[in-house]
Structure 1
Amino acid sequence: LADRDPEEARKILDPVLEGLMEAVHRYEGTVNQVMGDGIMALFGAPLAHEDHAVRACYAALRMQESVTKYARETQGSHSAVVRIRVGLNSGEVVVRAIGSDLRMDYTAVGQTTHLAGRMEQLADPGAIVITAATRALVEGYVEVKSLGLVPVKGLAEPVEIYEVTGAGVARTRLQAGARRGLTRFVGRDAELVQLRRLGDQAAARHGQVVAIVGDPGVGKSRLVWEFAESLASQEWRIMASSAVSHGKATPYLPIAQFLRTYFRVEDGEDARTVHERIADQLKTLDPALLPALPALLTLLDTAVPDEAWQALDPQERRQRVLESVKRLVLRESAVRPLLLVFEDLQWIDSETQTFLDGLVVSLPTARLLLLVTYRPEYEHGWGGKGHYTQLRIHPLFPESAEKLLHELLGDDETLTPLKRVLTERAQGNPFFLEESVWALAEASALAGERGRYHLTGRLDALDVPATIQAVLAARIDRLSPSAKSLLQAASVIGTDIPLPLLQATSELSDAELPVALASLQAAEFLYEAKFVPDREFRFNHALTQDVAYQTLLHERRRVLHGRVVEAIERLYDERLPEWVDRLAHHAVGSAVWEKAFGYLQQAGAKAKARSAYQEAASYFEQALDAGRHLPPDRAHLERMIDLRFDLRGVLIPLGRFERAVERLAEAEVVAEALGDQRRLGRISAYLSASFRLLGEHARSIACGLRALRIAATLEDFALQVAANCYLGETYAVVADYPHAMQHLAWNSEHVAGDRRYESFGASALPAVLSHAFLAQVLADQGAFPEGRLQGSAGLTLAEAARQPFSQVIARWGLGYLYVEQGEAETAIPLLEQGVEMAERLSIGGWGGTLMPTLGYAYAVAGRLGEAIPLLEESLKRLVATRRGHALFTAQLAHAYLGARRGNEASQLAADALSTARRRG
């Protein structure tokens, strides 16, 4: 059209653009840009729709139909061949309103819109191209063919794209999901029994209306499907339909749907064929129904060759349509029992609602069961009818949810933590469970097939699947502005929402807040969990909190997190230690880095004090990140060094020795720049311990001796204790018993009285460590009575101190001695308790030491069936550089020898000797 006169070009293009915009509005989209030869449209924004991607695809198909029809009708009037390209993508966008009091337009920006534009450019004329993100949301609803991976300008990796070739057969989420295969039906036996009882009443000419009510995804449609399947083998006739979210403006849409199925009307059939088939079917059922033919043809958008019908006024035609469908349904039920299903009444149009109201009145003597489903927000006037029953469907009980997850995932033991997280997040919602597993499989976090999955790696976080997000976002957007604002504020506060904190964080007035809160409770977004000392609310569903939080722009989140920090500091100023975890979280969210640094340190120390080492490590790492945002003056750099000391203290129990060395090396660089000898001494001592745990014994001893020299120069008693402890342990490992005794005995002599309960910066009490390793050294030399005294003293001290990590080490020391002395049966209970404590506390490093010692104790006691698996598992967990590798290999060789596996024992013994010589 570039060479044509602008006015002529406009005459050609304007009808095309009008057709495109009509298609967008037909599916409740928003046209936010009109260019000279195209448009840009949004679906699911500015207001969310749970089927936004399906609407967009249907609109695109309608656009292509409209343009094809226009091109056919105008063929010959101009030489231009009019065709369009359509590109779609799904994802998050930032929508901003642009306008005035008289007009409001919307524009969307971000990667999602950029990629949609690229899809349009890649499409051939007459084609619709979508991304994999859109395909995942419309599977079953439309037919697609893969176009493979294609490079896209502006993106580093190729993008998988698809062409939409037509509408699919699925109209409901259950139909779309059934393409993957239905999962096991669990947890609804009682409801199924009740439906069958009501069906029996209907079959006996006591017509029934049954409403199945529940939240999205809770399993309403699946229950209907299972019930209908149970009737299919009987004499029942089943007619089913459902409303769709974009169909409220289309009169009789669900009725037309079940009539098309009933009369077997296919798309594209000519009017004469449809007319004859319906007339024949009515005549067969009951000739008295033939006067209903024009009304039924009207509902099926088929031409009605009846002048008398055309002459009727609209109100009279409407009345005849409603009466004709009701007569057809009731007459069918007279032949045999009829199950008439209408799903998703929350989206029903007013004409279909009128039909259902009239049918309900006529049911009492019919052989008809009217089964409807809807969400809690829908209302009707049938509640007072004697033949009405409501079944409220609640989330699955935990045992049923576990059965479903087992069906989906399988029984791989590594999936146990994932199952626990999914159960907690989905809270018994079957759709949420299924979609979460499907999303993990699509993202390659799970490998295998349904019922036989395994994790492909570590799973740090779970995103909310796009399908679930769409459902929940649509519910949230239907709230009033004040209720939505309050829900978003609550999502920032967290899982538990004290009312005083919500009042302080929200921008609502004292008059508005109770109204909005009542609205959220009525809609079952929040429920009241506590009444004293303060009222406290919680989200009905954890995923709702996630989605509500994601609807906030980043700047808005930052502001709200800051308000929460200020509110907690003001409201709970005398109880801040109780709130330090939440203060840390909100301070990070508000980017107030000084507060974040302090609160994260406090939260880490609090976690460490209760031996929650993994949690403590996470807090300390976050504190390091926060600290990097602060000015690097000397005082702050010293704080950053000390923070790394704290972090090292929890990394060691977790067995993350390499990470500890990395953080200590960072601290060493800073301490040297500051010329801080005292901190350099502590770094050397901690490196001594870490290198020992990594099997680098020479470096461990060198660092320990350096720490001792610095301690002597500075007369630093705490540093002397730590250095002697770590040196003694390393010398014990390399069997240099005189030096080991020298350093460990120094601690036993000088760390006395109440100082025995001090940690001196170590993860466990040095006094306990010294006793435990002295027990090992003395046992290795055959001095069992003296060793037993040391081991017993260490255990007594650890239990008196109530320090779990120290108790684990003390049990190892005394247990080791008993095994070496040949009293394995005495050692086993001690070591079993130590292993149990280490696993409970996630103390990976010492768990790895206790397990093979326990395995060896089993072997010495002749319990080879328990010994060999435990020793084999222990060796699998150990890397070649880990402390004790040679010893534990020799212990497994001993067990193999006892089991008469001589060749394997000989090979392992040779490996142990080689490793010991190599590592010194």
Structure 2
Amino acid sequence: MFSDLCDSTRLGASMEAEWYAAMLADLRHACTEVLGRHGGTVVRIQGDGALAIFGYPSTGEADARCATQAVLELHAVVRAMAPEVGTGTRASLALHSGIHSGLVLVDDGDLVRGRFELLGTVPNLAARLSDEAGRDEILVSEETLGPEFRYFETSPLLYVPVKGRAEPLSAYRILGRAGETGRQLARRRRGLLPFIGRGDVLEALEQRLGQARAGCPQSLAVLGAAGVGKTRLVEEFLARQAASACRVLRGDCESTASAEPFQPFLQVLRALFALSHGQAPAQAAAEIGRRLDEIDPALAEHRAVLLRALSLPDPAAVFGAPPRRLVADALVAALRALVAALAARQPLVLALDDWQWADEASRQALTAVRSIADRPILVLLTARELAPSDRNLLGTEALQLLPFSDAEAVQTVQHLLPGIDPFEAVNIQRYAGGNPLFIEELCHSMAQADGEHPVGRPHGGAAWLDILIESRLSRLPEAQIELLRAAAVIGNVVPTWLLELVTGCGGDHPLVRALAELDFIFPGERAETLRFKHGITRDVIYDSVGMHERRAMHLRIAQAIQQHRPPGDSDESLEVLAYHYGAAGQTDLAARFAELAGDKALAASSLDRARLQYRAALVALDQMPPSRERRLYWIRLSQRLALACVFDASRQDLVLFRRAVELADVLGDAEVQAKALYWLAYLHYALGESHACVIHGERALALARQVGDGPLEVQICATLGQALASSADYEPAIRLLREASDIKRHHRSGNRLAVGLAYTLTCLAAVQGDRGDFAQASALFDEALDVVRDTVHEVGASIRGWRAAVLLWQGRWEEARQTAAEAYRIGEQVRSLFSFSMSRAAGGYAQWMLDGSESALQGVVDATAWLAPREGGLFESLNHGWLTDGLVGMDRVPQARLHAARALQRGRQRDLLGGAMAARAMAWAAATKGDQARAERGLAQALRVAHARDSAHELAVTQWTAARVAWAFDAPARARQWLDPAETAFETMAMPWHLAQARALRTLIR
């Protein structure tokens, strides 16, 4: 917290020095006294400004709330000071304050630096917020408060620019503490997710409420870790009771030092009597009296004690100043009588949140409520855990709320991030460990991220979430804290032998078993391993380990693993060694093991893991002094990365491969330059940029011929053929693809998987299929599959994905669906998002042609959305063509028009595959609306695209559609003119579905 006095220069000039010094002394005293009362520590008071910290030496999960409440109170105290500035004149004082949270290194201070020296950006950002705040304003960063904002009245989010920081700092202006109604509304606003799962717990709650309605009072506690969804469950349950004539009383307990005795019950009273801030006390007292008479006139005897508890005057009662014990007993009796009277009128649910923070007075009140017999009352508590004394005192049965199942977690992710690809959804689910709160924050983070953002700590920071986790850690004994920190350094998955080597505690040690019971770690999927329950928890604990200690531990762990690993480079420790050596600062070893780990992942067709490891190796190399050898090593590694990217390219990869070309140019080695240019060309092809691919590929080809690198020359020719094929420049594409495939066949080794040959044959098959030679295409696909055999490899997904597309062109819907399903399975297995998505789209369109279901077409929509963040465009027009056709078929023409525009826009970049279908579908949509001119324009456009592709099947289908349009506009002669060549072509190309449609149309025309 950074707080400063407003207009201090003007005040100093207008006051006597002694008065100004006295005012500053009062200000310093107020800071120390008020902030200390809320758990703050004043680090430094310099002039009229103060710097304070909360959450040190131990972290509490309510630290941010305490700090904000403390500053609100401090502002009020300073406003009331009014020091004398002259004879009979007093100054009006005000502060401006800022609060920010994050990781800070705390060191010993001195007379100059204050009580502590705080190192890090957090104090500077707090000062920046204070500078931005106006007179008597408090700015608190969003990442500090998180969901705790509900405890305050706030402005909408503000965005404060910070020098040297790319993104502005989002913050709230704090206007005051929220009333009970405001807090409940804020809680509901945060719970905008649809309710997912929890059916068994809801059923148990419904059963208990049914028993209570029958006159048998019930008590039930819902237990679960922070963020697991207890409050959201209760909200859903209570919302379902809204129409059932059931009264609901709500309250929650707080862990802050400012929490008042009887807090949840006082909240119940304030909500019940609709008390609001600023309401005149006498008016409020009169209204309470009236409402008590309405509920039960016998409650009048408790009126005075209720008013006193609510800090309201009671003119009719001489309450005096009874002993505190007597006041508490009287209030307990009053609460019991009020609840009994309310329950006599209608069934009642008393829902109390966060009962683990309840004070002793609240426990006594709840015990009294539970003693009410023969009333329809359900007491519903939520808590992290119930102390044994609570269980004995209350006799309350507990339901344990577990984290989301994998399916529920993924469903939540998909709702929060519509269009997220399934791989990322699963990554979030795993990292969050099924905790709904963590899932929500990770999704919020990824939604705000610019471009692709790997799953990890919330982007832009979420200090409140770190504080929540750190507060759990701080409540543990020191031995357990140190054990958890060591485990966090080892990783998310912890081999028990390694933990024992580092800490002396094996898997059966009591400290380890206790941590499992506390839900920090649990037995891993593999024997003799432990696993952190949540990836976020592990990362927060890891950050709490000092840098020097962390590096030394990483090095010790790496050396221990290397000593225990089996000989050879094929074991499973490669990734772990790369990680630990990198974190230990041993960049040369980190690069070496990351490369080996990438090779292992690539050989297993685990593309995402391979990309991750190769990138880690490149990062490690960048931290080493440059040399010619290291530049060559960097280029070679980038080319290994390229092998993992070409089947799943992302625009962000271009930076790396352009850099490889630049490094190769610096080295001046033609062979190195040729290879670097080749891979840059291939990535452009994989991104759907055939023109850029050809430019770089031709330069690479000239260099390969210059140095006499025959195998590279063949690869480049194949890539140029693939690029030309993707841009529908078929004649030169066929020549290059045939030449390359002939050479690859001749030099094929029986021991190695001929990926290049298989993909070259696949591209040639797609070209032949587009030109209408489906028999030749099928033979080429068979040969490509024979090359890869039954091996699970990403090229297998590409072969089957293209075969599905060609089968769709031929109208063989069921075969296309089955083939696409197999491509989808392989794409999922090798984690190639491109293959996975494109096969999902092909399968979705095939299914739509079979049954016309909206869910089938949704598969195409989803697949298209999954690829959008990659900003690639390879064959993207196919998806938009399928979507245009499907949406027109469902009479959703405005949506279809958007996809048609996208397909035709891709056509300007020579991606023509979906353009004819899109234009054709829009022509038919216009015809159904009676717009002949637009229909004719669409058909002309479809014909132009079909001719530009030299696509026999597209030409024939467009002619058939033209016949349909002519028939729709009552032009049978014109319809026959179009239908005759289409029907002949369908028969020649063996397109039975289309042929049947054409013959059906002919019977109508006759």
Compute the TM-score of the two structures, normalised by the length of structure 1.
0.77
Q: 1:691 to 1:511 in 2, by over 3 A?
A: closer
Compute the displacement of 1:597 (Å): 0.7
What residue number does 2:350 align with?
340
Q: Distance in 2 between matches of 1:62 and 1:656?
A: 52
**Residues 167, 668 of structure 1: alpha-carbon distance in 2 compared, 3 angstrom cutoff:** closer
The one-letter code of the counterpart of 2:380 is L
Amino acid corresponding to residue 66 of structure 1 in structure 2: V
State the AA in 1 paired with 2:381.
Answer: V
> Greater CA deviation, 617-626 or 178-187?
178-187
Q: Does 1:584 align with 2:578?
A: yes
Equivalent AA in structure 2 for residue 582 of structure 1: V
Count of residue pairs the alignment pairs up? 874
CA contact under 8 A between 1:248 and 1:347: conserved in structure 2?
A: no
Q: CA deviation at 1:83?
A: 1.2
1:198-597 to 2 correspondences below 5 Å: 198-203=208-213, 205-228=215-238, 238-247=248-257, 250-262=260-272, 266-267=276-277, 295-302=305-312, 310=320, 312-316=322-326, 318-330=328-340, 333=343, 338-357=348-367, 359-360=369-370, 362-364=371-373, 368-376=377-385, 378-383=387-392, 388-398=396-406, 412-414=418-420, 419-437=425-443, 443=448, 458-461=452-455, 463-464=457-458, 465-505=462-502, 508-510=503-505, 514-529=509-524, 532=527, 534=528, 536-552=529-545, 557-574=550-567, 577-597=571-591
Counterpart CA distance in 2 for 1:139 and 1:635 is: 55
Q: Which runs of 5+ in 2 are unaligned?
A: 1-10, 861-874, 884-899, 928-934, 951-1006
Among 37, 46, 49, the alignment partner of 1:35 is: 46
Aligned with 2:77 (options 66, 77, 96): 66
Q: Partner residue of 1:625?
A: 619
1:276-333 alpha-carbon deviations (Å, 9 max, x no partner)? 6666776777787666566445433456899996575555555555455445545655
Partner in structure 2 of residue 98 of structure 1: 108
Q: Distance in 2 between matches of 1:305 and 1:819?
A: 86
Give, in whole Å, the separation in 2 of the partners of 1:593 and 1:105.
38
Give me the CA root mean square deviation: 5.4
Amino acid at match of 2:644: V
Match of 1:872 in 2: 881
* d(CA) in 2 for partners of 1:272, 1:380: 41
For 2:287 and 2:917, the matched residues in 1 are separated by 85
* Counterparts of 1:53 and 1:300, CA distance in 2: 26
Are the equivalent residues in 1 in contact too, given 2:254–2:354 (CA < 8 A)? yes
What is the DSSP-based 3-state SS (H/G/I as helix, E as strand, rest coil) of the residue aligned with 1:211?
strand
The residue aligned with 2:151 is 141
User: How far did 1:589 drift?
Assistant: 2.9
Give the distance between the partners of 1:472 and 1:191, measured in 2 at CA.
Answer: 26
Distance 1:147 1:799 in 2: 58
- Counterpart CA distance in 2 for 1:490 and 1:472 is 16
Q: Is the 8 A contact 1:95 1:106 kept in 2?
A: no
Q: Distance in 2 between matches of 1:302 and 1:720?
A: 90
Alignment of 1:738-777 (within 5 A): 745-749=742-746, 751=747, 755-758=749-752, 764-765=754-755, 768=758
Contact 2:179 2:276 (C-alpha < 8 Å) held by counterparts: no
Q: CA deviation at 1:29?
A: 2.6
Contact residue 656 and residue 845 of structure 1 kept, 8 A: no
> Aligned partner of 2:789: which letter?
E
In the TM superposition, 1:669-688 aligns within 5 A as: 679=672, 682=675
- Alignment partner of 1:646: what SS? helix
Match of 2:58 among 47, 52, 56: 47
Alpha-carbon distance change, 637 to 189 in structure 1, aligned in 2, over 3 angstroms: closer
In 2, Cα distance between equivalents of 1:434 and 1:672: 47
* Correspondence for 1:57: 68
- How far residue 781 of structure 1 moved from its aligned partner, in angstroms, is 12
- Counterpart AA for 1:371: L
Deviations 1:378-426 (A, max 9, x none): 44344487x63222222344555566566656xx545655554444444
The residue matched to 1:246 in structure 2 has which SS?
coil
| Per-residue deviation, 1:603 | 1.8
Q: SS in structure 1 opposite 2:647?
A: coil
Distance 1:82 1:18, change over 3 A: farther
Correspondence 1:684-763 to 2 at 5 A: 694-695=690-691, 697=694, 700=697, 703-704=700-701, 706-711=703-708, 722=715, 734-735=731-732, 745-749=742-746, 751=747, 755-758=749-752
Corresponding residue SS for 2:12: coil
**Does the 8 A contact of 1:248 with 1:349 survive in 2?**
no
Per-residue CA deviations over 1:701-722 (Å, capped at 9, x if unaligned) read: 56436424533xxxx7755765
Alpha-carbon distance in 2 for matches of 1:365, 1:814: 72
- Residues 129-162 of structure 1 show CA distances to partners (whole Å, capped at 9, x for unaligned) of 4455557555432223469666667767766665
- Quote the Cα distance in structure 2 between the aligned partners of 1:231 and 1:826: 49
Quick one: structure 1 residues 175 and 773, their matched pair in 2 at CA, closer, same or farther if it must change by over 3 Å?
Answer: closer
Specify the code of the residue in structure 2 equivalent to 1:520: L
Provide the secondary structure at the position in 1 that maps to 2:523: strand
Summarize the Cα distance change of 1:474–1:705 in structure 2 as closer, same or farther, 3 Å threshold: same
Q: Is the 8 A contact 2:39 2:257 kept in 1?
A: no
- Does structure 1 retain, via aligned residues, the 8 Å contact 2:349–2:379? yes
Provide the C-alpha distance between the structure 2 equivalents of 1:433 and 1:730, rounded to a whole number of angstroms.
41
CA distance in 2: counterparts of 1:783 and 1:185, whole angstroms: 52
The residue type equivalent to 1:374 in the other structure is: A
Deviation at 1:94, TM superposition (A): 0.5
Question: Partner of 1:452 in structure 2?
Answer: none
- 1:85 aligns with one of 92, 95, 99: 95
Deviations 1:718-763 (A, max 9, x none): 55765776688799965387887666545544x26xx34447xxxx
Structure 2: distance between partners of 1:175 and 1:813: 53
Comparing 232-241 with 373-382, greater Cα deviation is found at 232-241
Q: 1:636 aligns with which of 624, 630, 637?
A: 630
Residue deviations 1:552-600 (CA, integer Å, cap 9, x gap): 4555554444343233223334586212223223333333211111112
Report the secondary structure of 2:71's partner residue.
helix
2:793 aligns with 804
TM-score by length of 2: 0.71
Gaps of 5+ in 1: 446-455
Contact preservation (8 Å) 2:154, 2:173? yes
Give, in angstroms, the shift of residue 242 of structure 1: 1.9
How far has the Cα of 1:879 moved from its partner? 9.0
Is contact 2:717-2:736 (8 Å) kept? Answer: no
Is the Cα contact below 8 Å between 1:651 and 1:657 reproduced in 2?
no
Please state how far the C-alpha of 1:525 moved relative to its aligned partner: 1.6
Amino acid paired to 1:220: K
Give the corresponding residue for 2:988.
none
Which amino acid is the alignment partner of residue 31 of structure 1? V
Checking the alignment, whether the CA contact within 8 Å between 1:594 and 1:630 is kept in structure 2 is yes
| Paired letter, 2:584 | S
Matched residue SS, 2:36: helix
Structure 1 residues 28, 718: closer, same or farther in 2, change over 3 A? same
Question: Aligned partner of 1:37: which letter?
Answer: D
Distance 2:802 2:525 in 1: 47
Find the aligned partners of 2:476 and 2:547 in 1 and give their Cα distance. 21
Provide the secondary structure at the position in 2 that maps to 1:194. Answer: helix
